[in-house]
Chain A
Amino acid sequence: MSQIANDAEEPLGASGWSRLVSRFFENRSAAAGGAILALLIVCAAGATLIAPHDPLAINPVMRLRPPGLQHWFGTDEVGRDLFSRIVYGSRYFLLICLVAASISATAGTLLGLIAGAGSALADGIVMRLMDVMLAFPYILLVLVVVAILGPSLWTGMIAVGVAGIPGYARVVRSAVFSVRHEDYVESARVLGASGAQIMFGTVLPNVLSPLIIYLSFATPLAALLASALSFAGLGAQPPAPEWGAMLVNSRTYLFSAWWAVAAPGTALFVSIFGLNLLGNGLRDVLDPRS
């Protein structure tokens, strides 16, 4: 299944983990992606220290100024400092990734475990439900949830999270199928472990590697969608310095102030690019076949 499962004679102790970690840092794609993520975390944590201006402070005198010494990324249509708004925007970006990924990964993993390790009936019910959700294109499914809950930052994040559930459920289910007749699962059963113990104690750790790989691909996609929602006016609402929402008003000024569009757009692109690099690197490290 994975490197971890294959090296049976070499138990994954401290040395195993450190080997994985060192392989991770040797991987250039992973290192570059990790650096971008680290930068995002620094911006989010230290936003109050890094940002030179209040991200919401309006200054009509300074509206639509091009990038310069005073305003590194220029100002927007009401004179807010774009650099400060980009820095604060990293908080929204990370929050969206965290909330959406937690919802899809937690619910999807649970459903996948139930379907993969539970009875045939449970499998049938869960997977038919997932099939129906997958009958909608991803964005459409997100829009369904937004339509039900009403548009806002939180419902946007929840919608993206809920729409991601079937993907995780499928990946976990098929991973469970591939390990559930392995000797170590059988021996846990023989030793008298309960169903829940086997599920979470024995099976779950052994499906972690495909789960992490899927997570690393699904999260940037979720972030893309959440920002698209904000851009369409169905997620975070202006004047919140969320990058997608920042484009809503500034796109009207595309002809006179390209920087007001370029700054949030580039921030979004670079962050998602970083997550994708990180994902590629993680896959190389965790899945030796690729």
Chain B
Amino acid sequence: MVRYLIRRLLLAAPVVVGILLITFLIKAAVPTDAVTAMYQGQMSEKDAAQAITALRAKFHLDLPWHQQLLIYGRDLLHGELGESIRLRRPVVDEIGYRYVNTILLTGAALLIALVVGVTTGVVAAARRNTWLDITATTVGLFGISMPAFFFGLLLILVFSVWLRLLPVVPHGPIAILLPALSLGLIEAAPISRVTRTSMIDVLRRDYIRAARARGVGEVALILRHGLPNALLVVLTVVGLQIGNLLGGAFIVETIFSWHGIGELAVNAIKWRDFTLTQAIILISALSYLLINLAVDVLYAWLDPRVEIET
């Protein structure tokens, strides 16, 4: 197990370097030079020129790119993410609480996606080729075709405007309900699909037939003997699903004014605030990497064959 973990960590190292290089590109390739864009038309030309020179020096935009890269790497090693150009304060201050909010939203959405996806997948597999199965498959196709932001607006329309079940701008714990539903229900579609396929495959196995021959009831057969084995396959796609949820959060947060890093990232890109954009993308990519690592290790722990094969 420890050897497997070390191997995986070593494999992740070059990817981390790649992530750093790509996020660095965000700064190096800013075409209009964020600093210039910011001061356009805001003060007299002479003052502006001075301010721009000072700011360019501050963000090292006046240095050749390879020196900028070295400085970027050095700062990151010191845990220094820089100062937001627009907000004029360390990006860490702004990202901190928003990161927690995005994790909360992604976690709640994942819970919904797993519960709904696995349940419908199991039911569809157990009642294969019945109207239940066909309905689940069709709804699933709806799910993968539905833009999360439109679905979110529909939920607001139905629950807040027509049914008046929720306040338009909810406060407190209930505020997470609609954004988590609009992300989670859509992501339930692919999970349901994988669960169904994997469950059908498992139900064909010899040990299921043996259990059935022993007189195990149909429900126990599916839940106790089938499901744990089917879930193993589902776990392999969970990492990918979390990536989708994290990405989807970037759009959904805007609709529901959920103050997460996604909402901030969209604004940072519009502001051309490259330090902020860089930091958010870096943190999200590293989180995604860690999640995938955790899922892989969990998988190897649950299914020892993986460890032996690699």
Contact = CB atoms under 8 A, between A and B. Distances in A.
Interface string B114-128: 000000000000000
Interface string B260-284: 0000011011101010010001001
Q: Which of A140, A234, A258 has the most CB of B within 10 A?
A: A140
Contact of B289 (A128, A135, A228, A272): A135
Interface stretch (B50-58, B63-71, B229-237, B247-255): B247-255
A132 interface: yes
B284 to A, nearest CB: 6
Interface in B137-184: 141-142, 144-150, 153-154, 156-157, 161, 168
Contact of A138 (B15, B243, B269): B243
Best-buried of A137, A227, A255, A280 by chain B (most CB within 10 Å): A137
A190 B13 CA distance: 42
A273 B269 contact: no
Given A234-B269, A280-B141, A139 B31 contact: no
Interface stretch (A100-108, A141-149, A200-208): A141-149
A218 to B, nearest CB: 12
Contacts of A251: 153, 255
A276 B145 contact: yes
A147 B244 contact: no
Contacts of B23: 144
Interface in B268-307: 268-270, 272, 274, 277, 281, 284-285, 288-289
Contacts of A112: none
Contacts of B266: 143, 232-234
A269 B248 CA distance: 16
Nearest to B252: A228
Nearest to B263: A232
B246 to A, nearest CB: 5
Nearest to B251: A228
Interface string A223-263: 01001100111100000000010010001001100100100
Contacts of B61: none
B31 A137 contact: no
Contacts of B31: 149-150
Given A147-B281, A255-B161, A265-B154, A228 B145 contact: no
A137 B144 contact: no
A233 B266 CA distance: 8
Contacts of A265: 147, 150, 153-154
Which 4 pairs, one residue from A and one from B, show the smallest C-beta to C-beta distance? A132-B18, A139-B247, A137-B243, A265-B150
Interface string A99-120: 0000000000000000000000
